[in-house]
């Protein structure tokens, strides 16, 4: 056999080739052009060598593979965009051919006449799972580390290397559609129950089990290539099909509102593909994949939810020249809901935590929060009692500040009161070593003002978590005027250590995320005042792609908190800083009707006892004269929500609060779910073009108010035909280095 860069091939005495995928210099295997060329050659050599009876493919790493390297797709699309300007038909044909290479390679493998078995030893995603499905059998290790999925839908694509055709030919059609359109992870047991893998074996016997299948006479023919093959879910045109397809289309529409072209393409691929022979079905899939690759949604989602997200998670915004910190102990001040959550995620990362509150019972209550979260995981089969005890052993609940001695960092999460924060800062700094970092988890108070309480403002930084801490993946790192590079670097190191995504934000009222969220809520208040029916407001927001309606979101964060923020803003900036009609609405909700939100069971919604679901408060429609819903343009409502948020994101960039468009985009999606199909708040603008966006904003401004006035930055970008990723190129420094 030939020598390969990314694979090692060894043939044993039984004539079985073990193909071990182990890319040099990478922590995880991914499909690149070179990997596919080498695998293509291996398939040819296995087929041509009469001494080889079959092949097992596995990984030399802890994981099997993360799938395709999406930067490869980005490059492919970049070439396509340039070539399209010269010859559109030729460029599309080239894209079609390139998009089909992986699919053709896997088809070549499964029709090679030799049996192939995939030995899945760890995470197996996307194209790697499609490779496994093209093998004649699949064996997965019996381990919690093994997760299989076709998650392409999450970045605006779909499985385009045979996934939409092999899954519904192995599994029941309904289960296949659910898996393909959700991108859900499958455990070995779940995958076997769906007939997507052949067997589950002990991790140390995995390759042996795979080889045994070949020794046992595994047929080198896929079920769909045999005469008389029948679909597990029955034909499309059958009673079963008639009961499946109409509801499936309706459910997709309900879940996506037509915002995700790739999700619709999956249904079309499966439906059409199951009506024709397998090779024709693959060609149908290839055509749809080529079409989806050209969509704005795919381009923006790949950039933000794969490329940018990975770059930020790797510390793209980390100051250079500061040694990386390996944390030995973290202090958390305040054992309330936020502090308890911070302690939990820190202990989950294996870092010892000192959790401090005013007295031992309050601190112990905070620690109990972690116990409760672990109990929930145990109940779901995602953790063990032993893991719970190990995690709890890392958390020391106390009222003694002396135990902060030796902490690398302290995260303050006490009540949003400057005086209280001042007191705990002084107590902590009296104990902390000089090199330690003090991080304040605040959502409203400027970091620069809080840093005046510190004797070492260079070591003082903001670190804004979102609630609930264990579920929310974003953390804002806020720079005060005197925050040093070491504090920023350590804050980023900490956020990465607890497996969350950091974005760096300069100091301002509301920072970045809250400024955008408040605009979202504010527009819903304005709609209520205009007499838009509350149900239309909530539904229009969801139709626009937001995960939670703005009225429901206000309830979750608390209506009386919205009132407090408005009052504080008026105290600080004057009455003109707050819309007085909206202020009156919130005052009416809180002061007149006692509706504080979910926390007291009544806000914009009523919250009856379970199992009854929440419902909009009927009294809302009595606050303002209602418009005729038939005369309200839902498309305009959708635009108002997305445009008001995007405008605020643009203002934040103009003011220099956020300086990297990757952070603005990723932050808007991870923090409050800004329509993921757009790629984020700035990509929403880039996707339609600044010129078209400014025109839309001006039209909305004429009809609905000054909140839609485009900032000078956007007007200038529209005139110059610029995008945010051109104007604020996050890669310009790298380009200079390369030069």
Query: In the annotation, is 593 catalytic?
Result: no
Nearest to 73 by CA among 185, 152, 2: 152
The span from the CA of 698 to the CA of 428, in Å, is 51
CB atoms within 10 A of CB 279: 12
| Cα→Cα distances 326→147, 323, 493, 497, 498, Å | 28, 10, 8, 9, 12
Q: Rounded CA gap, 201 and 209, in Å?
A: 7
Among residues 136, 369, 464, 593, the one annotated as catalytic is 464
Distance of alpha carbon 340 from alpha carbon 90, whole angstroms: 58
Distance CA(588)–CA(281), nearest Å, equals 60
Q: Who's near 738: CB < 8 A, 6+ residues apart? A: none
Q: What is the 3-state secondary structure (H, E, C) of 658-718?
A: CCCHHHHHHHHHHHHCCCHHHCCHHHHHHHHCHHHHHHHHHHHHHHHCHHHCCCHHHHHHH
Query: What stretch of H or E contains 140?
Result: strand 137-141
State the Cα–Cα distance between residues 219 and 227, nearest whole angstrom.
Answer: 14
Return d(Cα 429, Cα 227) in angstroms, integer. 76
Alpha carbon distance 307, 297 (integer Å): 14
Instruction: Answer yes or no: are the C-beta atoms of 138 and 194 closer than 8 Å.
Output: no
Query: Is the peptide bond preceding residue 611 cis, with omega within 30 degrees of 0?
Result: yes
For residue 226, the tally of other CB atoms under 10 A from its CB is: 9
Q: What is the token pair recorded at 496?
A: 């990465």
Q: Quick one: tokens of 565?
A: 């923020």
Q: How many angstroms separate the CA atoms of 505 and 665, rounded?
A: 13
Asked if 387 and 346 touch (Cβ cutoff 8 Å), the reply is no
Rg (C-alpha) for the chain, rounded Å, is 28
| Burial annotation 123-144 (CB, 10 A radius, 16+ → b, else e) | bbbbbbbbbbbbbbbbbbbbbe
Residue 543 is encoded by which pair of tokens? 């139709």
| Phi–psi pair at 79, nearest 5 degrees | -65, -40
Axis-axis angle for helices 33-48, 101-110 (nearest 10): 20
H or E element: which one contains 54?
A: strand 54-59
The token pair at 708 is 């839609």
Enter the DSSP assignment of 583.
H
Measured distance CA(481)–CA(446) in Å, rounded: 10
Contact criterion met (CB below 8 Å) for 145 and 122: yes
Which two tokens mark 194?
């769906």
Quick one: tokens of 658?
A: 């956020």
Q: Quick one: which of 679, 675, 688, 674 has its CA closest to 723?
A: 688
Residue with tokens 């605009």: 519
Catalytic positions = 464
């Amino acid at each position: 056999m030939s020598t390969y860069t990314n694979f090692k091939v060894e043939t044993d005495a039984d004539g079985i080739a073990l193909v071990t995928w182990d890319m040099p210099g990478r922590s995880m295997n991914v499909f690149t052009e070179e990997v596919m060329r080498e695998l293509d050659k291996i398939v040819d050599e296995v087929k041509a060598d009469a001494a080889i009876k079959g092949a097992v493919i596995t990984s030399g790493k802890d994981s099997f593979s993360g799938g395709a390297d999406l930067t490869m797709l980005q490059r492919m699309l970049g070439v396509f965009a340039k070539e399209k300007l010269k010859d559109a038909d030729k460029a599309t044909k080239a894209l079609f051919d390139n998009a089909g290479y992986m699919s053709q390679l896997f088809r070549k493998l499964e029709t090679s006449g030799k049996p192939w078995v995939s030995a899945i030893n760890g995470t197996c995603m996307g194209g790697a799972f499609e490779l496994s499905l093209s093998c004649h059998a699949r064996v997965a290790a019996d381990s919690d580390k093994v997760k299989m999925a076709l998650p392409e839908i999450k970045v605006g694509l779909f499985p385009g290397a045979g996934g939409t055709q092999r899954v519904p030919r192995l599994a029941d059609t309904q289960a296949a559609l659910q898996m393909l359109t959700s991108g859900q992870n499958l455990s070995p047991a779940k995958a076997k129950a769906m007939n997507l893998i052949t067997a589950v074996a002990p991790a140390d016997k995995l390759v042996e089990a795979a080889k045994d299948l070949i020794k046992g006479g595994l047929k080198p023919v896929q079920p769909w290539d045999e005469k008389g093959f029948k679909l597990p879910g029955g034909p499309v045109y059958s009673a079963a099909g008639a009961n499946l397809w109409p509801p499936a289309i309706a459910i997709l529409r309900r879940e996506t509102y037509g915002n995700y072209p790739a999700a619709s393409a999956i249904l079309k691929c499966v439906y059409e593909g199951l009506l024709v022979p397998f090779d024709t079905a693959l060609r149908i899939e290839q055509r749809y994949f080529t079409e989806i690759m050209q969509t704005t949604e795919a381009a923006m989602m790949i950039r933000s939810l794969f490329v940018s997200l990975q770059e930020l998670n790797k510390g793209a915004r980390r100051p250079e020249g500061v040694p990386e910190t390996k944390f030995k102990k973290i202090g958390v001040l305040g054992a309330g809901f936020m502090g308890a959550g911070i302690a939990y995620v820190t202990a989950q990362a294996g870092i010892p935590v000192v959790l401090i509150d005013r007295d031992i019972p309050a601190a112990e209550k905070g620690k109990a929060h972690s116990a409760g979260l672990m109990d929930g995981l145990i109940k779901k089969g995602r953790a063990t009692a032993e893991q719970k005890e190990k995690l709890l052993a890392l958390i020391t609940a106390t009222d003694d500040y002396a135990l902060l001695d030796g902490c690398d960092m302290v995260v303050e999460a006490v009540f949003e009161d400057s005086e209280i924060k001042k007191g705990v800062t002084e107590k902590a700094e009296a104990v902390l070593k000089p090199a330690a970092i003090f991080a304040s988890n605040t959502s409203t108070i400027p970091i620069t003002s809080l840093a005046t309480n510190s004797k070492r403002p260079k070591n003082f930084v903001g670190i804004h978590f979102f609630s609930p801490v264990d579920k929310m993946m974003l953390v804002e790192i806020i720079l005060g005027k005197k925050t040093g590079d070491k504090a920023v670097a350590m804050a980023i190191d900490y956020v990465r250590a607890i497996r969350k995504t950091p974005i760096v934000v300069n100091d301002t009222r509301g920072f970045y995320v809250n400024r955008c969220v408040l605009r979202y809520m504010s527009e819903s208040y304005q709609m209520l005042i205009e007499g838009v029916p509350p149900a239309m407001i909530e539904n229009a927001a969801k139709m626009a792609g937001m995960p939670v309606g703005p009225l429901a979101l206000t309830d979750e964060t608390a209506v009386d908190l919205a009132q407090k923020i408005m009052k504080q803003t008026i105290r600080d900036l004057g009455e003109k800083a707050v819309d007085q009609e909206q202020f009156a609405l919130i005052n009416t909700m809180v002061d007149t009707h006692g509706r504080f939100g979910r926390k007291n069971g009544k806000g914009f919604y009523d919250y009856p006892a379970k199992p009854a679901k929440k419902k909009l408060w009927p009294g809302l429609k009595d606050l303002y004269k209602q418009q005729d819903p038939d005369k309200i343009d839902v498309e305009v409502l959708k635009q108002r929500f997305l445009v008001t948020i995007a405008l605020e994101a643009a203002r934040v960039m103009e003011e220099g609060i956020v300086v990297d468009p990757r952070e603005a985009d990723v932050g808007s999606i991870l923090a409050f779910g800004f329509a993921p199909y757009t790629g984020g708040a700035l990509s929403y603008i880039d996707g339609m073009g600044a010129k078209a966006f400014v025109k839309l904003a001006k039209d909305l401004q004429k009809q609905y108010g000054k909140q839609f006035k485009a900032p000078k930055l956007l007007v200038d970008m529209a005139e110059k035909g610029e995008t945010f990723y051109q104007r604020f190129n996050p890669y310009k420094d790298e380009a200079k280095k390369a030069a």
